[in-house]
Structure 1
Amino acid sequence: MSRSTFSSELDSFDLAILRILQNDSTTPQREVGEQVNLSAPSVQRRIKRMQRDGVIAVQAAIVDPARVGLPLTIIVEIELKAETGGKIDEIKETFLEAPEIQQCYYVTGEVDFVLIVIVSDMAEYEDLTQRLFFSNHNIRKFKTFVTMDRTKTNTSLNI
């Protein structure tokens, strides 16, 4: 579904509500209503509809990794030996099950996957590489980028 098709299903009130909730999902519905000129019950109905329709996928707290002992963000490029449907699904499942992998992207280009990994230290990352990369016979090679700074990690969409 294209962005324009999707956007036409959401009116300006829905988009305004989403902008507020992306910034702080704990904003009281009364306050959201005041900001978008709707009643709190109307805001509540719209939020429930957007949750039901999957527009609002999840409401969660965004935790600063460094403040919970996970200061190291690593970006990993993965190149596979064989890129068949079954092999792709198998490796996706492996990555989905690894709690250290915060984000996983199946991409086009010179590599097949790009991962965002959050760990406490290099020893934990080395353990992950042994467990997931070296032990997987379909991984041709992987390239690691250790981040110096988490300069921008925005979760809000530009809607």
Structure 2
Amino acid sequence: MASLRNIPPRALDAFDLAILRIVQKDNKTPQRVIAEAVNLSPAAVQRRITALERSGVIARNVAVVEPEALSLAITALVEVSLRDERAATVDAAKALFRATPEVQQCYYVTGGISFVMVIICRDMRSYEALTRRLFAENDLVAYYRTNVALDRVKADTALVVD
């Protein structure tokens, strides 16, 4: 995923914002439909979408897959505290968490813990094996705490576009 920290600012106008509202909900919306909705030509919509992609405003185009369809039954919300907050320790932890496919989201945070993450696994046995490798047997980690989700009430990818 592109990080906006490395992307020069691009001014977004009302047309760009209107296009973003539509493609966040369904990026397969035909450009002629988007064009009608935002009062632009399909060619202008195409140019704007391309510019939004190139500038990193649109970071990726992906399919959102239901975990249950792949028999992924466990969603865990995990708080991790590192042994120390030295740059090398934090960077090593970030690299490990980025490289772990079961880690769906990971945030480096303030306030007594180091990371908050969302992990999705097939079952408790696979979650236990993952936690041993990532946390329990990892010298970088001081402790971790897991909350297992009982129900996914909302999981959205769309941002509020004003």
- Between the two proteins, the alignment pairs up a number of residues equal to 154
Q: Who is 1:29 aligned against?
A: 31
Name the CA distance, whole Å, in 2 between partners of 1:99 and 1:77. Answer: 17
Q: Who is 2:104 aligned against?
A: 102
1:132 Cα deviation from its structure 2 partner = 1.0
Q: CA RMSD in A?
A: 1.2
Note the residue ranges of structure 1 that are not aligned, 5 or more in a row.
none
1:48 is paired with a residue whose SS is helix
Give every structure 1 segment of 4 or more consecutive aligned residues whose post-TM-superposition deviation is greater than 2 Å.
Answer: none
1:130 Cα deviation from its structure 2 partner = 1.1
1:102 is paired with a residue whose SS is strand
1:126 is paired with a residue whose SS is helix
Deviations 1:18-69 (A, max 9, x none): 0000000000101100111100000000000000000000000000111111
Query: In structure 1, what residue type is equivalent to 2:51?
Result: R
Name the CA distance, whole Å, in 1 between partners of 2:74 and 2:138. Answer: 24
* 1:112 aligns with one of 88, 111, 114: 114
2:145 is paired with a residue whose SS is strand
1:141 is paired with a residue whose SS is strand
Matched, 1:140 2:137: no
Note the residue ranges of structure 2 that are not aligned, 5 or more in a row.
none
After superposition, where does 1:1-12 map in structure 2 within 5 Å? 9-12=11-14
Are 1:51 and 1:57, in contact at CA under 8 Å, matched by a contact in 2?
yes
2:79 is paired with a residue whose SS is strand
TM-score between both structures, scaled by the size of structure 2: 0.92
1:134 Cα deviation from its structure 2 partner = 1.4
Are 1:66 and 1:72, in contact at CA under 8 Å, matched by a contact in 2?
no
Name the CA distance, whole Å, in 2 between partners of 1:90 and 1:138. Answer: 8
Q: Who is 1:90 aligned against?
A: 92
Name the CA distance, whole Å, in 1 between partners of 2:35 and 2:85. Answer: 49
Q: Percent identity?
A: 47
Query: In structure 2, what residue type is equivalent to 1:152?
Result: K
* 1:48 aligns with one of 39, 47, 50: 50
Query: In structure 2, what residue type is equivalent to 1:95?
Result: F
Name the CA distance, whole Å, in 1 between partners of 2:62 and 2:73. Answer: 20
Query: In structure 2, what residue type is equivalent to 1:154?
Result: D
Query: In structure 2, what residue type is equivalent to 1:69?
Result: S
Query: In structure 2, what residue type is equivalent to 1:109?
Result: G
